[in-house]
Chains A and B, each alone.
Chain A
Amino acid sequence: MKSAMKKSYRYIALVLAILMIGALALAGCNKSEPAAGSSAAPAAGSSEAAEEPEVTGPPIKIGLLNETSGAYEQWGKMELQGFFSGLYYATDGTMAIDGRPLEVIVEDTTCDVGVGVQKATKLLEDDKVDILSGTCISSIALAVMDMAAEKGVPYVINCAASDDITGANFNEYTFRTGRNLTMAAEAGLGFLNEDEIEGTTWVVLAPDYAGGRSGGESLGAGVEARGGKVLDYIYPPMDCTDFTSYIQKIKSLNPDYLCAAIVGNNFIVKFPQQLKELGALDNGMQYVTSIADFDFLKTVGEAGIGQIGEALYHYNCWDTPANDALIQIHQELYNGEYPDFWAGESFVGAQAIVLGIQKAGGTDGQAFIKALEGLEFESVKGTYIIRAEDHQALQPMAVGRIISDGNGGATVEAAAIIPLEGMTFPVTAPGRA
């Protein structure tokens, strides 16, 4: 008896030991960064208490689902800090609307759908929030948006980018102020005029998984629609570290543009390095790919200089009053940190919530929906219009170029700004077109 027991225990112990070491190593890597939510939320919360001028009504409760811990906690921190900066900006630092103080309840999804749904239940049914917002993870947003609609609570999504949120899965209570994946793919090609794409040759490269393939396909479709020719689609595995054979293939095809939908460290860092090392960029081929957050710029370093592509948000790309305010408020609230990536999206979401409540004259769900539908406002990227049909915010988009920051690192400048008029696309929400 004992030997059998011991045997199975030994296997389990072995596997667990390996996992523990992995977990400890990961935890160690992250140690230098401050705990995301714990530092951010109280900072904004205390300002909320200090700045209140006069309270004349019950508080307005806003629930924010946030990735405070887990694999995407860096993104969660960006979203949280941008959100509070946005509330601060839109209320002129009072953190109150028409005398009613804002009470923001932040809940950690831990990047898990089940936990996200649980926390959303808490916010919707126990805390009875007036407005729900948050999460960078599309699957959580997709699950939560149905719950919010059931409770009649408006849900404003800042970051989660799946097309289905304002498309196939549409409901009237859900709004998205951030850009969706179709807009990202469109903007990725937006640095060229249509006649510049016509007649050019392209190779599309993306990691081999559902998101990668659909991203690659929509990029390719965009190229073909503009009269370009896609020579080949290349899908290396997600965990690919040696791209030599793929790069040799790209060299032999010799396209004018190499267009990559990239995810993950290997694709972000190793791929451009190996492109340079193998001289693939020497004969004038332009490398086109999306530009991510500060960590991305840090890791890609000088190897990335010259890269061009859709930039979701980088503070250098925009010259608007709201962007200046975002940088200033963000630095004030968060120890001089510049707003990063998702902060540029959640700032807008927070602003839209405040504008919606002001316009609706309260927090009634239906009035709020009416207020946001067709709302036109100025924010980080210029003019935004929340489309009444599918509740997707149309907005200008930036194409960034990676340049040297003069200290051996990389930063971003705007290569092109695609105006809002150039960013329209068909409504896909069922029954709303």
Chain B
Amino acid sequence: MKTKNKLVLALALLAAVLVVPALIGSSYIHSIIITICIYSIFAISYDLLLGYTGIVSFGHTVYFGVAAYVVAFTTVKLHWPFLAAVGMVIVVCVAISFIFSLVTLRTKNVYFSMVTMAIGQLFYVMSTKLYAITGGDDGLPGVKSIFPNKTVFYIAAVLILVCVYLFSKRLVNSPAGRVLQGVKENDARIGMLGYNTFKFKSIVIQISGLLAGLAGILYVNLNGIATPSILNSSMTLQILFMVILGGVGTLHGPVIGAAIMQIASIVLSGFTTRWMLIFGIGFVVVMLFFPKGVAGVFDRFSQPNQLRKE
């Protein structure tokens, strides 16, 4: 497709997403789409690591969860204004992701994954045990949404998602983004070319940490509570599923994956209580036959014939 056509299509899609549910006016549908937007932002942030830098982190939900807890703690317990809480989230997410990258980037491949998983679990355990700060298993309830109603929240969430998408697109197509993709293809060669690969990796971990934190801020606004379940490693895996299902390394893939997972879980759980099983089998099928995810299937058919063969 030509760039101009693509732009028109994207704008039409955006207009449809914004207008149609605003007309329907069901808060439930709005909250589903808000949830999809939140997970999409989270998944895009993960795709920056997995799809563009080749970093397989199993502790990515730390930023998401910590951001939610920081907002809940500062606004509910310390009565800070919301913007101050957001400032705190930025500071905390950058700090944690910087330390995270210092500790984990010394290891490679499967060891890297194991270390990130351990750090992720550390935060999860802390959330259940530091009762005075986190409220333990009950979580920290009582967060007031900054959006007056679900419709406003819905429009804001869609626009934030679009901004995050455009930002990420710009990032991966920038010279720095090319270096990141180079790191993914061949870490050593990029180092030989004179780039400080550690620095690039550390920066992308911090950027994706911030984006995940943004998703966490929206999550706690939507649900009004931060609980240990959002810090559990199963949350990271859920995001990993979304990215792989949608298509790794595509940026629009994670959005498709997040939407499919949300909608499928709602539709399937209406039919049977064993919906997780159906979902799991579906996932295995996608992994086996469509390794590039749903986005990969779309792209294959939207490209001219001669390109397809390559």
CB distance from A334 to the nearest CB of B (A): 16
A29 interface contact, C-beta 8 A: no
- The count of chain B contact residues (Cβ–Cβ below 8 Å) is 50
A209 to B137 CA separation, bound complex (whole angstroms): 9
B107 interface contact, C-beta 8 A: no
Is the CB–CB distance between A169 and B142 below 8 Å? yes
Is the CB–CB distance between A121 and B274 below 8 Å? no
A139 interface contact, C-beta 8 A: yes
Which of B2-10, B25-33, B82-90 contacts its partner?
A: B25-33
A357 to B35 CA separation, bound complex (whole angstroms): 35
CB distance from A326 to the nearest CB of B (A): 25
Neighbouring B residues of A8 by C-beta, 8 Å? 50, 54, 56
Which residues of B, 264-310, contact A by the 8 Å Cβ criterion?
A: 265, 269, 272-277, 280, 283-284, 287, 291
Q: Which of B110, B141, B230, B276 has the most CB of A within 10 A?
A: B141
Which of A19-27, A295-303, A348-356 contacts its partner?
A: A19-27
Is the CB–CB distance between B280 and A23 below 8 Å? yes
Neighbouring B residues of A115 by C-beta, 8 Å? 265
Neighbouring A residues of B275 by C-beta, 8 Å? 69
List the A residue with the shortest CB-CB distance to B249. Answer: A5
Determine which of A7, A12, A38, A162 lies in contact with B273 in the assembled complex, contact meaning CB atoms within 8 Å: A38
List the A residue with the shortest CB-CB distance to B183. Answer: A4
Is the CB–CB distance between B269 and A108 below 8 Å? yes
Is the CB–CB distance between A139 and B291 below 8 Å? no
B104 interface contact, C-beta 8 A: no
Determine which of B27, B31, B142, B230 lies in contact with A146 in the assembled complex, contact meaning CB atoms within 8 Å: B142
Is the CB–CB distance between B136 and A211 below 8 Å? yes
A73 to B274 CA separation, bound complex (whole angstroms): 11
Interface of chain A: mostly helix, strand, loop or mixed: helix
Chain A interface category by residue count: 35 or more
Neighbouring A residues of B186 by C-beta, 8 Å? 1, 4
Determine which of A16, A112, A114, A164 lies in contact with B219 in the assembled complex, contact meaning CB atoms within 8 Å: A114
Is the CB–CB distance between B225 and A143 below 8 Å? yes
Is the CB–CB distance between A110 and B139 below 8 Å? no
A276 interface contact, C-beta 8 A: no
CB distance from B34 to the nearest CB of A (A): 9
Determine which of A35, A118, A121, A139 lies in contact with B272 in the assembled complex, contact meaning CB atoms within 8 Å: A35
Is the CB–CB distance between A73 and B50 below 8 Å? no
Given A113-B227, A114-B219, A143-B223, do A69 and B28 touch, yes or no (CB 8 Å)? Answer: no
List the B residue with the shortest CB-CB distance to A163. Answer: B138
Is the CB–CB distance between B109 and A7 below 8 Å? yes
Is the CB–CB distance between B273 and A37 below 8 Å? yes
A36 interface contact, C-beta 8 A: yes
List the A residue with the shortest CB-CB distance to B149. Answer: A125
Given A27-B277, A113-B139, A139-B138, do A118 and B31 touch, yes or no (CB 8 Å)? Answer: yes
Neighbouring A residues of B283 by C-beta, 8 Å? 16
Neighbouring A residues of B272 by C-beta, 8 Å? 35, 38
Neighbouring B residues of A113 by C-beta, 8 Å? 139, 223, 225, 227, 229-230
B222 interface contact, C-beta 8 A: yes
Determine which of B137, B223, B224, B276 lies in contact with A27 in the assembled complex, contact meaning CB atoms within 8 Å: B276
Given A27-B277, A125-B28, A126-B27, do A210 and B128 touch, yes or no (CB 8 Å)? Answer: yes
List the A residue with the shortest CB-CB distance to B276. Answer: A23
A27 to B279 CA separation, bound complex (whole angstroms): 12
Is the CB–CB distance between B269 and A142 below 8 Å? no
CB distance from A9 to the nearest CB of B (A): 7
Which residues of B, 12-59, contact A by the 8 Å Cβ criterion?
A: 26-28, 31-32, 35, 50, 54, 56, 58
Neighbouring B residues of A126 by C-beta, 8 Å? 26-28
A431 to B160 CA separation, bound complex (whole angstroms): 40
Is the CB–CB distance between B224 and A112 below 8 Å? no
CB distance from B176 to the nearest CB of A (A): 19
Neighbouring B residues of A169 by C-beta, 8 Å? 141-142
A147 interface contact, C-beta 8 A: yes
A265 interface contact, C-beta 8 A: no
A210 to B230 CA separation, bound complex (whole angstroms): 17
Is the CB–CB distance between B273 and A24 below 8 Å? no
Is the CB–CB distance between A114 and B223 below 8 Å? yes
A272 to B113 CA separation, bound complex (whole angstroms): 39
CB distance from A126 to the nearest CB of B (A): 5
A13 interface contact, C-beta 8 A: yes
A266 interface contact, C-beta 8 A: no
A254 interface contact, C-beta 8 A: no
Neighbouring A residues of B169 by C-beta, 8 Å? none
A117 to B185 CA separation, bound complex (whole angstroms): 42
Determine which of B56, B128, B229, B265 lies in contact with A11 in the assembled complex, contact meaning CB atoms within 8 Å: B56
A114 to B230 CA separation, bound complex (whole angstroms): 9
List the B residue with the shortest CB-CB distance to A123. Answer: B28
B252 interface contact, C-beta 8 A: no
CB distance from A269 to the nearest CB of B (A): 22
A265 to B269 CA separation, bound complex (whole angstroms): 27
A23 to B237 CA separation, bound complex (whole angstroms): 13
Given A35-B273, A36-B273, do A210 and B137 touch, yes or no (CB 8 Å)? Answer: yes
Q: A27-B277, A143-B141, A164-B138 are in contact. List 4 more A-B contacts (CB 8 A).
A: A15-B113, A20-B284, A68-B269, A210-B136
Considering the complex of A and B, which 8 residue pairs feature the smallest CB-CB distances, nearest first? A210-B136, A125-B27, A122-B28, A142-B141, A143-B225, A69-B273, A35-B273, A139-B139
Some 13 contacts from A to B, beta carbons below 8 A apart, are A8-B50, A15-B58, A20-B280, A23-B277, A68-B273, A69-B273, A108-B273, A113-B139, A126-B26, A139-B225, A143-B224, A210-B136, A214-B136
